[in-house]
Chains A and B, each alone.
Chain A
Amino acid sequence: MTHSIPYPLTTSNILQAIDTRYYQFFVQVGLFVWATFYLDVLMHPMHVVLTIAAGVITQIAFSRYFKLPINLLSTLNSMMSILILLHSSSWMWMVLAAIIAISSKFIIRCGDKHIFNPSNIGIVMVLLLVPETWADSGQWGQGMWFILLLASLGLILLLGISRMLTSISFIATFIGLIFIRAYWLDAPLALPLHQLQNGAILIFAFLMLSDPITTPNSAFARIIFGAWIALFSCFLQYQFFVDNAFLYALAVSMPLVLVLNRLFIGKQYHWPRKQRRY
């Protein structure tokens, strides 16, 4: 295990050696607890238990089948994303989202990596297929943008700016677009600021778009990809009045990552623990 200690012992080396997934898990659990106890967004405890159980069981089953080591950290993170973003009137659809999310990692692959962001595809498929589900982008309100921004900065410290370029580029483009729209509408500054402070957008940008596995390998491609998602989301929302447009924009755009990876060569990301095994 000695080789897992970063050398030389600089702050940035230590930070980079920490598996970011612990941090993401911590932030997501924090958000879930905040939503439950402070924002009064109540989810049936059974939904929580069954969603996590379904994700874990699916992960174990596929890992056994493909004879892979069982790693539950990513699974737990995907499940937390589902619990934070998805609502359903029945536990069944939460479980279905969990199963789709995890299965997609093993079934829909190109080369040595999966194509879809697991929680994103799980949520989007269920939203499209089952009328009994919904995503509530209003639930976070406008009051917590500062906390979310701090949490996002933590993620940038851990993953490094380069790996967070999709999120950063998404937010930058989104800000640009809503300010241009406000300028075109001759609306007061309060309008774009209000749109920007929506907790759901920030959670999506920094927790879902930050997944280093499914975003493009090259830093430049990540910038393009983030900007594209912002552009596409705004198009869906303002032209077609689609609710939760950013979730759909990401799901539909994932094949674009394959193209970007061909066009722009970059290094595939691996979680620190996996690196240690080599």
Chain B
Amino acid sequence: MARFFILLTTFLLGISLISSAQAFYGFYVGKDDKPLFNKSSQVVYVRDGDRNIITMVNNYKGEAKDFALVVPVPTLLKKDEIRIINNATIQRLDDYSAPRLVEYHDSDPCQPSETTYELSITPPAPVVNKAEQLGVEIEAKYTVGEYDILLLSAQESKNLVTFLKSEGYQLPAGAERVISRYIKQDMKFFIAKINLTVFVETGYTKLRPIQIAYDSKRFILPIRLGTLNAKGEQELFVYALARKGQVKITNYRTIKLPTNRELPSYIKKKKLFGKFYKDMFNTQAKKYNKVAFLEYAWNMSHCDLCGAKPLTNKELKELGVFWKDDPVYLSRLHLRYDKKKFPEDLMFQITADHSTFQGSYALHHAFTGAAQCIAGNKYFHKELPKRFKEEIKTLAELTNWKIKDIRKQQGIPKHNTYQTDDWIERIWD
């Protein structure tokens, strides 16, 4: 049976196309159970000076034997430069930086005041090594955690492609040209496959993220291989961690996600926040061409209305933050890319920008008590309808949902109009 090829978005060589949409599964908002973005991948990029520590999260759901990850890297990595980290830490980083809901409850107007991945295990197919014959240099071979790692260098992309094909990988169309481009730029290839024997022993049901570390002046994410996936657009989340400040993309514009908006409260009740985030992102991604979105930017030492607690020093260290005492700035970038929208690999720079940003959406729960007073009449008959109208309009604009449908879902709470004969009370109405 043919082996498939996964290219984690960033570096990841596009994915083997046979396995259809199963190849990438993804990202979750908050604690919702359903995957929001298909074909998504996450990369944590720690950069300081020329040091690069990159963690690639394999949002892969499929047969373990079919998994392979191909990443262009600027240097040949040694065994101790590759390691496996825990999924839980990535989930923490995601929870901490994800767009969040902030809830408020109106007071009585009368009294002012993850993702889970299950992999089915089948025995590994025998590997036939034809590398040497083909002029492909297997520079190193390691087993790290549940992965078998190969580091390849080649003079000719044709040979590398032939080698990979002979290994049973189904390469997407155009792979040779793209591989050739990276070879010309003096990149090596990092290939990870699952060592099934080890994987079974670990007892994990889900692949763990692979982390690589190397010295290089290049501050880039080679996404070209990922764009080979013919199945349209892919989602990429980059969590960049730096000592000095925000990390910015230098060859594409970055837009801030719409934030600090007030939404109808039924979003929470009907557990629609995940859908809201997804549809809002869809609307934004359609509106702008060739842009990345900033979803979070903050110094990790504190946060305002956090979705989750900032990461501990231990967790940061696991992600590759090797400095102590100095601040850690997190920039969370989200982009949806394909061949056309992103013709060039992502290039970054660390800046001293300390401005903060988060995707934050407020819900005001209406007061539901009797509120039998003149102020209660005003609240239920004037203030609430006006506020709801605005919230509905905001939601419709952000998500492209139909106003009619939103209005249907967001009913105004019932209120018995307060009647009074007291003329003194009425004059203030």
- Whether A133 lies near B218 (C-beta < 8 A) is no
CB-CB under 8 A for A40 and B256, given A185-B184, A185-B185, A186-B177: yes
The reply to whether A190 and B291 contact each other, CB–CB distance below 8 Å, is no
A143: chain B residues within 8 A (beta carbon): 253, 289-290
Pick the contact of B217 from A39, A132, A241 — CB < 8 Å? A241
Q: Which listed residue (A133, A138, A241) contacts B251, Cβ 8 A?
A: A138
Partner of A136, one of B219, B290, B351: B351
Given contacts A89-B245, A241-B218, contact A194 B352 (CB under 8 A): no
B356 within 8 A of A: no
Question: Which 8 pairs show the lowest CB-CB distances between chains A and B?
Answer: A141-B253, A190-B343, A134-B351, A132-B352, A241-B217, A243-B349, A194-B343, A185-B181
- Known A-B contacts A134-B353, A195-B344; the reply to A184 vs B253 at CB < 8 A is no
**A135–B99 CA distance with the chains assembled, in angstroms:** 28
A184 x B251 contact (CB < 8 A): no
CA distance A243 to B220 in the complex (A): 12
CB-based contact A137/B250 at 8 Å: yes
From A131, A137, A138, A188, contact of B352 by CB (8 A): A131
Binary interface profile of A, 157-200, with partner B (CB < 8 Å = 1, else 0)? 00000000000000000000000000011111011011100100
Q: Which one of A138, A193, A244 contacts B252 once the chains associate, using CB atoms below 8 Å?
A: A138
A190 to B337, CA, bound (A): 14
Q: Decide if B286 is an interface residue (CB 8 Å cutoff).
A: no
Cβ–Cβ < 8 Å partners of A40 in chain B:
255-256
Q: Is B344 a contact of A186 with CB atoms below 8 Å? A: no
What's the Cα separation between A12 and B233 when bound, in Å?
A: 51
Q: What residues on B are CB-neighbors of A195 within 8 Å?
A: 251, 344
Taking the nearest CB of chain B, how far is it from the CB of A97, in angstroms?
14
Q: Is the CB of B180 within 8 A of A141?
A: no
- CB pair A138 B181 closer than 8 Å: no
Q: Does any Cβ of B come within 8 Å of A240's Cβ?
A: yes
A contact face: mostly helix, strand, loop, or mixed: loop
- Given A39-B253, A40-B255: A141 and B184 interface contact (C-beta under 8 Å): no
A190 touches B253 (CB 8 A): no
Chain A residues, Cβ within 8 Å of B130: none
Quick one: which of A185-238 are within 8 Å of B by CB? 185-188, 190-191, 193-195, 198
Residues of A within 8 A of B184 (CB): 184-185
Smallest Cβ-Cβ distance to A130: which chain B residue: B352
Chain A hits for B217, CB < 8 A: 240-241
Task: Point out the residues of chain A lying under 8 angstroms from B255, CB to CB.
Answer: 40
Say yes or no: A134-B253 contact (C-beta < 8 A), given A141-B291, A142-B290, A187-B181. Answer: no
Is A248 an interface residue when CB atoms closer than 8 A count as contact?
Answer: no
Contact B250 A243 (CB under 8 A): yes
State the CA gap A240–B353 with chains docked (Å): 24
Q: Contact check, A194 vs B249: say whether CB atoms are below 8 A apart.
A: no
CB contact list, B207-254 vs A, under 8 A: 217-219, 244-245, 248-254
Closest to B346 in A: A138
A190 CB to closest chain B CB (Å) equals 4
Bound form: Cα–Cα A137–B252 in Å: 9
Known contacts A185-B184, A186-B181, A188-B343; is-contact A87 B353 (Cβ 8 Å) = yes
A-B contact pairs, 14 of them (CB 8 A): A87-B351, A131-B244, A134-B352, A138-B248, A138-B250, A138-B251, A138-B252, A143-B290, A185-B184, A186-B181, A193-B343, A241-B217, A241-B218, A241-B219
Q: Give B251's nearest chain A residue, CB to CB.
A: A138
Q: Beta-carbon contacts of A50-61 to B below 8 Å, as 1s and 0s?
A: 000000000000
Q: Tell me which residues across on chain A come within 8 A of B347, comparing CB atoms.
A: 243
Indicate whether B382 reaches chain A with its CB closer than 8 angstroms: no
Report A-chain residues with C-beta under 8 Å of the C-beta of B387: none
Q: Is the CB of A186 within 8 A of B353?
A: no
Q: Would A194 and B254 count as touching, CB distance under 8 A?
A: no
A13 near B: Cβ within 8 Å? no
Does B317 have its Cβ within 8 Å of any Cβ on chain A?
no
Interface residues of B in 249-289 (CB under 8 A from A): 249-256, 289
Known: A139-B254, A185-B180, A243-B250. 9 other contacts (CB 8 A): A39-B253, A88-B352, A132-B352, A134-B349, A134-B351, A138-B254, A185-B184, A186-B181, A243-B349
Check A32 for interface membership: any CB of B closer than 8 A. Answer: no
Q: Is A140's CB under 8 angstroms from B351's CB?
A: no
- Cα distance, A198 to B347, chains bound together (Å): 13
- Shortest B48–chain A CB gap in Å is 12
Closest to B182 in A: A185
Cα distance A249–B168 when bound, in Å? 48
Query: A186 contacts which chain B residues (CB < 8 A)?
Result: 177, 180-181
Closest B residue to A240 using CB positions: B217
Assembly CA distance A39 to B288 (angstroms): 12
**Is B340 interfacial (CB-CB < 8 Å)?**
yes
CA A134 to CA B344, docked complex, whole Å: 22
The interface residues of chain B lying within 8 Å CB-to-CB of A136 are: 248, 250, 351
Distance between B259 CB and nearest chain A CB, rounded to angstroms: 12
Residue of A nearest to B224 (CB): A187
Contact partner of B354 (CB less than 8 A), chosen from A89, A133, A187, A240, is A89
The residue among A138, A193, A195 with the most chain B CB atoms within 10 A of its own CB is: A138
Are A139 and B343 in touch, CB under 8 angstroms? no
CB distance from A276 to the nearest CB of B (A): 43
Chain A residues with CB under 8 Å of B256's CB are 40
> What residues of chain B lie closer than 8 Å to A137, measured between beta carbons?
250-251
**Complex alpha-carbon distance, A132 and B355, angstroms:** 13
Chain B hits for A132, CB < 8 A: 352
A8 to chain B, nearest CB (A): 47
| CB-defined contacts of A138 to chain B, threshold 8 Å | 248-254
